[in-house]
Amino acid sequence: MDTTGSPKVRLPVRLEEDSLTRLTEIKKSKEEELKDNLLKKNLDKEKSLIEEKKKKIIQIVEYMEENNSIMSDKSTIENQRDLSHLLSDFDIDLEKCGYSMSYREVENDKNMLDSMLGELLDGDNITAIETNSFQYSENSVLILDALNEDMCCLMAKDSKYIKLVSKQGEKEHKFKIVCDDFCVSNESIYFTTENTICNLSQSGSVSRVFSTHLLEPMRICNSVNNGCFVSLIDSECKSFDDIDYSSQRLVSHLTLTGDVIHEYEYQQDGQTRLFTAHYRLCQNSNSDICVVNMTGDNKGEIVNVSVSGDLRSVYRGKENFWPTDIVCDSYCNILFIDHLKSIHLLSPEGKFLKCLLTEKEIENPLALSLSKSTLWVGNDNGLVKVFHYEN
């Protein structure tokens, strides 16, 4: 991949001047809103006062009309005085009923302003430094999913075991299962097999969670909120040449009881497919779904879809682009493996940032997992390398 001329600094989406202009507009809008609310409040109070005065005046007038023939001079004078008083001080009372309005400047919070204005991220400050390596298997490491910064679950090609391994390469435990993919959630392992999602407990017991019916589950990953994401395909249609209008290629957001939260299959036009053959997937902490989508033999693309289903970006790299796995860091940057050119970094918007690791650090990588600052990478030859990831 040609990285010459690529920017080392990612600018914020909004320039500082635009942000300050927007803040001024928000302040002005807020003041207008407060003013309108206070005017309405005063108007309601005035109406209430008028109704109260009106009621008292009517009562006095009705009393004087009904008792005119029997009222004493003293009573007549008193009622007239009350009536005059109600009418004379009416405007004065209206002035007293008004609510005051004042604007208080809030002390600027630097952290809040920094967050609103954005920040400059220097790609040179994002690094991965090798801390350990070990030979896990003679076959390719196909799947990695970290339990935490110190332990990771691994599966090699043609293996019937998921093994729990430390950063030093010590095999702590192994589970005998047959699966297409798995993910670690709350120290349990969920895996896909034969139109079914199953759960593997720490004790090694396997339980069926739910069926995917007529569709075959291929890949599975955790959701940042609840449940999981599962990529599903027609069980009768796996090759690229067999895909037609009736074929199904979708990612489904499911609860851990199998209820569908959302399905992602087509773009907004309802006709253009989002995916051809999803090889790996993960959900970013900004809620986007990031998918390694294979478009042919040994070639693919990175598809980034919003949680609402909008296509946000598609990254196709350069020639001979063969992505095989994908994860996201705490800043929502996207890390993915290009099997022929090692590990690369994209912005949350899907723009190329830098080459994080090259063939010199690890050759022919296939699988990766990230837990906080620990990056696990497995390759074609069964080698696993552990890196300290700094962002």
Q: What is the pLDDT of residue 164?
A: 94
Query: Which token pair is 382?
Result: 């069964």
**pLDDT at residue 138 greater than cutoff 60:** yes
**For 8-12, 75-79, 134-138, 214-218, which range has the lowest pLDDT when averaged over its residues?**
8-12
**For 76-85, 112-121, 268-277, which range has the lowest pLDDT when averaged over its residues?**
112-121
Q: Tell me where in the chain the CATH 2.120.10.30 domain(s) lie.
A: 121-390
AA identity, residue 80: Q
Range 51-59 average pLDDT: 83
Q: What is the pLDDT of residue 23?
A: 76
Q: Are the C-beta atoms of 356 and 366 separated by less than 8 Å?
A: no
Q: What is the pLDDT of residue 116?
A: 62
* Residues of the chain above pLDDT 90, percent: 51
Q: What average pLDDT is seen over the chain?
A: 84
| pTM to 2 decimal places | 0.71
- The order of strands in the sheet holding 188-193 is 181-185, 188-193, 196-200, 206-211
Range 123-135 average pLDDT: 92
Q: What is the pLDDT of residue 83?
A: 77
SS3 annotation, the chain = CCCCCCCCEECCCCCHHHHHHHHHHHHHHHHHHHHHHHHHHHHHHHHHHHHHHHHHHHHHHHHHHHCCCCCCHHHHHHHHHHHHHHHHCHHHHHHHCCCCCCCCCCCCCHHHHHHHHCCCEEHHHCEEEEEEEEECCCCCEEEEEECCCCEEEEEECCCCEEEEEECCCCEEEEEECCCCEEEEECCEEEEEECCEEEEECCCCCEEEEEECCCEEEEEEEECCCCCEEEEEEECCCCCHHHCCCCCCEEEEEECCCCCEEEEECECCCCCCECCCEEEEEEECCCCCEEEEEEEECCEEEEEEECCCCCEEEEECCCCCCCEEEEEECCCCCEEEEECCCEEEEECCCCCEEEEEECCCCCCCEEEEEEECCEEEEEECCCEEEEEEEEC
Q: What is the pLDDT of residue 81?
A: 80
**pLDDT at residue 150 greater than cutoff 60:** yes
AA identity, residue 351: K
pLDDT digits (tens, 9 = 90+) for 195-243: 999 999 888 899 999 999 889 998 999 998 879 999 998 866 556 666 7
Q: What is the pLDDT of residue 189?
A: 93
Is the four-CA dihedral 350, 351, 356, 357 of positive or negative sign? Answer: positive
Range 121-143 average pLDDT: 91
**Higher local confidence (pLDDT), 54 or 156:** 156
**Higher local confidence (pLDDT), 103 or 193:** 193
* Residues of the chain above pLDDT 70, percent: 84
Burial group, residue 163, by CB count within 10 angstroms (0-12, 13-18, 19+): middle
Q: Kindly give, in sequence order, each residue whose CB lies less than 8 Å from that of residue 332, ignoring residues fewer than 6 positions away.
A: 284, 285, 286, 288, 348
pLDDT digits (tens, 9 = 90+) for 2-46: 444 444 444 444 455 666 777 778 878 877 887 777 777 777 777
Going by C-alpha positions, the residue among 350, 389, 347, 384 that lies closest to residue 364 is 384
Going by C-alpha positions, the residue among 96, 93, 75 that lies closest to residue 85 is 93
**pLDDT at residue 154 greater than cutoff 90:** yes
Q: What is the pLDDT of residue 87?
A: 72
CA distance 61 to 272: 79
Q: Kindly give, in sequence order, each residue whose CB lies less than 8 Å from that of residue 66, ignoring residues fewer than 6 positions away.
A: none
- The order of strands in the sheet holding 365-371 is 127-135, 383-390, 374-379, 365-371
| Domain range 121-390, its CATH number among 3.30.420.40, 2.120.10.30, 3.40.50.20, 1.20.1740.10 | 2.120.10.30
